[in-house]
Amino acid sequence: MKKEIRVFAPASVSNIACGFDVMGFAIDEPGDEIVLRISDNEGVTITKITGENGRLPLEADLNTAGAPLLSMIEKLHITCGIEMEIHKKMPLGSGLGSSAASAVGAAFALNELLELRLSKEELLPFAIEGEKIASGSVHADNVAPCLYGGFVLIRGYNPVIDVVEIEVPENLYCTVIHPQIEISTKEARKILPKTIPLADAITQWGNTAGLVAGLLKKDFGLIGRSLQDVVIEPVRSMLIPGFDEIKKAAMDSGALGCSISGSGPSIFALSSSLHTAVETGNSMKTALQRFDLSGEVYVSKINKNGPRII
């Protein structure tokens, strides 16, 4: 049995415009690194956190990476203690699943370190324990793609069941721009509408089904037409300076579609080629700079691997 392990867990894009709380996919970067060691002390001890300017708690039960480990120790009757280091490689409140990456990284790392041989389906509820701390609610549209890799559909909650892995076209690329501002997931959920008109619901259902069908059929036209959000984006976009201009820049560059990643402020676009994805990123960054904001741009295919040992 190993004494120490270091893993990388990737960022993820959730909601995918029309798929609020039920769709997400992993990207290659950024991500978080988790280091676990077997300890003589009981329970979980967080010895170091870097990359977050001292904002995250060292108390395991209050930490998105600590909570999954505590749950695993209790429910799996693990007797050894665990020391953990958390190295945040992406910003907090970025809309890229930062809390999910820490939660998934920790659960995945303990599974590998202790050779527990738990499946992804068995690990998912533990990872969700960490996500609950960050958002105050149960949703798996960042945790599931981070853990499974690829593009996933979460069919149901209470409990989470039917995590469906959707095959995507090989030449589908994602561009993400992260403006240097922060949006709290909890706060972004507070402004969401409690009810929606039936006409908007029908539009959203059609787009959600159309996006899945477009991915499976490798129909880029259908994918693009389906990347429309008439429920969440109109509300949350008001929290992101220059959103409309950034989205227009992406579409003018040839992107299939563009919307908010998670609760924002990150914005994602999908493209049918690497060249278009790179040009889209350049255009989005130029548009962002007009609002006196800087931002990081990431371009990758859909990450099919999820967390990995490094």
| Lowest-confidence segment of 172-186, 277-291, 293-307 by average pLDDT | 172-186
As a whole number, mean pLDDT of residues 211-224 equals 98
- In this structure, are 9 and 142 located in the same domain? yes
Q: Are 160 and 183 part of one and the same domain?
A: no
- State how beta strands 295-301 and 308-309 pair: unpaired
HSE on the CB side for 96, CA within 13 Å? 30
- Taking the C-alpha atoms of residue 242 and residue 252, their distance in angstroms, rounded to an integer, is 15
Percent of the chain with pLDDT over 70: 98
* pLDDT 10s digits, 129-167: 988 887 666 779 999 999 999 999 999 887 777 899 999
What pLDDT does residue 1 have?
64
Nearest residue to 72 (alpha-carbon basis) of 120, 19, 26, 127: 127
Average pLDDT estimate for 57-68 = 95
Catalytic residue among 175, 185, 208, 280: 185
- Assess whether 22 and 159 both reside in one domain: yes
**What percent of the chain shows pLDDT beyond 90?**
85
One domain for residues 158 and 178: no
pLDDT confidence bin for 189, thresholds 50/70/90? confident
Does pLDDT of 186 surpass 90?
no
Asked whether residue 42 falls in the same domain as residue 76, the answer is yes
Find residue 308's DSSP bridge partners: 8
For residues 127 and 217, state if they share a domain: no
- Same domain for 72 and 215, yes or no, is no
Amino acid letter for position 35 = V
Q: Which structural domain, as residue segments, surrounds residue 117?
A: 4-166+305-309
What mean pLDDT comes out for the span 260-282?
97
**To which residue do tokens 């999910």 refer?**
100
Question: What mean pLDDT do residues 285-302 have?
Answer: 95
Query: Phi and psi at residue 58, in whole multiples of 5°?
Result: -85, -15
Lowest mean pLDDT among 133-137, 170-174, 180-184, 224-228: 133-137
According to DSSP, the β-strands at 44-50 and 81-88 are parallel
Active-site residue 185, yes or no?
A: yes
CATH number of the domain bearing residue 267: 3.30.70.890
CATH number of the domain to which 128 belongs = 3.30.230.10
Mark whether 138 and 180 lie in a shared domain. no
Name the domain count of the chain. Answer: 2
On whether the CB atoms of residues 147 and 126 are closer than 8 A, the answer is: no
Q: Are residues 32 and 148 in the same domain?
A: yes
In the residue annotation, 121 being an active-site residue is answered as no
Q: Is residue 80 scored above 90 in pLDDT?
A: yes
Reported pTM: 0.94
Q: Are residues 34 and 94 in the same domain?
A: yes
Q: What is the mean pLDDT of residues 163-175?
A: 96
Which residue in 33, 112, 129, 131 is the catalytic one? 131
**Predicted local distance difference test score (pLDDT) of residue 183:** 82
Q: Residue 122 region, left (φ>0) first, then alpha (ψ -120 to 50), else beta?
A: alpha
One domain, residues 186 and 274: yes
Same domain, 158 and 182: no
